[in-house]
Amino acid sequence: MPKRFRLTRRVNIAMTEDGYRRLRRFAQDAGLDEGEALSFLFENFDSITDEEKLGHRLRVFNSDLEDRKK
């Protein structure tokens, strides 16, 4: 029997404009709303990410983060 899909957590998050546009595009392409899309991404995080690329992209993001905050 499939697990019932309930959105039980509500979080106030801050996102970049680029990140939010990408989330909205992904959600629209998948036929989901933004909350459902985020749930899908995090529930399936390990199977949809490439560990080697993730580490590299995270290092790049972190190295640019302070400049982006200004």
HEC per residue, 14-69: CCCHHHHHHHHHHHHHHCCCHHHHHHHHHHCHHHHCCHHHHHHHHHHHHHHHHHHH
Question: What was the pLDDT predicted at 43?
Answer: 92
How far is it, in rounded angstroms, from Cα 59 to Cα 56?
5
Amino acid at 25: R
Question: What was the pLDDT predicted at 2?
Answer: 66
Supply φ then ψ for residue 2, to 5 degrees. -65, 150
Residue-wise pLDDT tens digits, 6-63 = 777 888 889 999 999 999 999 999 999 999 999 999 999 999 999 889 999 999 999 9
pLDDT band at 1 (very low <50, low <70, confident <90, very high): low
